[in-house]
Amino acid sequence: HSPRRPARAERPTGGGGRAAPGNAWAPSVAVHTPVKMKGLGLACLLLALVPQVVLGTHDVYIVTMVGDPVVSYTGGVEGFPATAADLDEEMDVTSEAVTSYSLHLRRHHEKLLDSLFVAGTYEKLYSYHHLINGFAVHMSSLQADFLRKAPGVKYVERDTKIQKLTTHTPQFLGLTTAVWPTGGGFDRAGEDVVIGFVDSGIYPEHPSFSTHRTDPYGPVPRYKGKCEIDPVTQRSFCNGKIVGAQHFAKAAIAAGAFNPDVEFASPLDGDGHGSHIAAIAAGNNGIPVRMHGYEFGKASGMAPRARIAVYKVLYRLFGGYVSDVVAAIDQV
């Protein structure tokens, strides 16, 4: 791996990744929330009478809302046309209908939190709108219990850690080199295909992802990814072969698991797992394999001309968090 010094992660700014001193808050539910449910009304009254409630420690929670996300919304909300596409159609996530409905959902998430809790006692980390309608929020268990009773909320679940699993070979999957002739041959298999990797990042300087000895790559049809800038080299992680590179760590930072002295606060791969998987699927053809001075032949990805979009959610010391994974998948 690269000998470069790990980039330092920036802590999220704004509202409050941590509870205020003493973990105190002053709910304003009785003022902002129209109460229709009997149980919720009693909770509002109690919280209005108690200006300060000791919350304890904060955790990250994933909240699922009532209402369709972009992928399944068939209309019904005034001013917002349907965004759902048939299974055989490709959705344009940049269309006016999709972007406006996505913004509508995001604003609804923010309005709900603002109506229930005092600013500074919680931090919304992500809004999910493409594949699910929901959000991730850093808050106390008491706030989570209260949020579960709010109208329009389906589920509130505490975030959990995940770990990466081992990998298997193309032979295990039944995908041998015999499939190459049907995909354009070893030099063209995967042309104009973008493969998304939700993993531990990528090492863009590896020969498997280089563009120096390959035919030039043209524009990617129907894909509009985002490319982060390496905070150390100040160069883009994208190079034509790699067409998207983002990292997601807000939940890990909020949970206190992210160590910026060890982890890379960028799409750079910290342990090689993501780079290995990306090379298996879409690594360049004919790359020499060398280890400790020995030659082990040449390697190729199953679709060597495919492009790579990286969504880093896994880290060296702790693995990852579900809410960061959901945020990455929601981008895909």
Q: Residues 73, 126: one domain?
A: yes
Give CA angle at 278 (283, 315), nearest 5°: 145
CB 209 within 8 A of CB 244: no
Which DSSP string do the residues of 261-293 spell out, in sequence order? TTS-SSSB-SSSHHHHHHHHHHPPTTEEEEETT
Residue 127: predicted pLDDT: 97
Residue 216: predicted pLDDT: 82
Decide if 7 is inside a domain: no
Give the pair of three-digit tokens for residue 125: 């980390």
Q: Residues 183, 143: one domain?
A: no
Residue 232: predicted pLDDT: 87
Place of tokens 């709910």: 27
What is the pTM (predicted TM-score) of this model? 0.75
What SS3 class is residue 326?
helix
Final residue belonging to a domain, choices 129, 158, 187: 158
Residue 324: predicted pLDDT: 97
Decide if 78 is inside a domain: yes
307 - beta bridge partners? Answer: 194
CA 139/CA 217 separation, integer angstroms: 45
Q: Residues 201, 276: one domain?
A: yes
Final residue belonging to a domain, choices 136, 158, 180: 158
Residue 320, H or E segment: strand 320-321
Q: Please give the residue range of the domain that contains residue 51.
A: 21-158
Residue 214: predicted pLDDT: 76
Q: Residues 177, 221: one domain?
A: yes
Residue 113: predicted pLDDT: 97
Give CA angle at 78 (133, 155), nearest 5°: 20
Question: Based on the structure, what is the number of domains in the chain?
Answer: 2
Residue 52: predicted pLDDT: 38
Q: Residues 34, 175: one domain?
A: no
Give CA angle at 206 (225, 220), nearest 5°: 25
The identity of residue 35, as a single letter, is V
Residue 324, Cβ density class (10 Å: 0-12 exposed, 13-18 middle, ≥19 buried):
buried
What SS3 class is residue 194?
strand
Q: Count how many residues are written for the chain.
A: 332
Place of tokens 């699927």: 281
**Among 308, 197, 326, 228, CA closest to 7:** 228
Residue 199: predicted pLDDT: 95
CATH label of the domain that carries residue 317: 3.40.50.200
| pLDDT < 70 regions, the chain | 1-56, 87-88, 165-186, 332
